[in-house]
């Protein structure tokens, strides 16, 4: 059911936002990372293996971004972080599908 919002007399065109503005508000900008691992198109456990091989390349406290589109990586990489005592910073949607999963090196 559609309901009209009361907007204090402003016309619908004055209060409607462009689709680009809505997307920008919904998806926060992806922060910089010290290293990006491209695991797009690879099935788990390959993204985790790639992360485990490269995490020591960044300095302590550095962030590795793993780009992956396998649904298992979405849950497995944060679980790997808990298991190995690294920090799962955040997961961001990639514009063309998949995720950028950010991991902070703790040791």
> Which pLDDT value is given to residue 12?
44
Query: Which residue in 35, 40, 44, 50 is the catalytic one?
Result: 44
d(CA 11, CA 33): 43
Q: Is the pTM here over 0.75, yes or no?
A: no
27-85 residue pLDDT tens: 567 789 999 999 999 999 999 999 999 999 999 999 999 999 999 999 999 999 999 99
Residue 81 annotated in active site: no
- Structural domains in the chain? 33-104 (3.30.110.40)
């Amino acid at each position: 059911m559609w309901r009209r919002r009361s907007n204090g007399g402003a016309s619908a065109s004055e209060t409607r936002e462009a689709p680009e503005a809505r997307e920008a508000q919904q998806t926060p900008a992806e922060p910089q990372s010290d290293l990006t691992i491209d695991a797009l198109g690879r099935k788990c456990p390959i993204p985790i293996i790639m992360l485990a091989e490269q995490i020591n390349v960044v300095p302590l406290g550095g962030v590795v971004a793993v780009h992956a589109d396998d649904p298992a990586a979405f849950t497995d990489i944060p679980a790997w972080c808990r298991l190995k005592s690294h920090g799962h910073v955040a997961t961001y949607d990639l514009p063309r599908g998949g995720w950028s999963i950010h991991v902070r090196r703790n040791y």
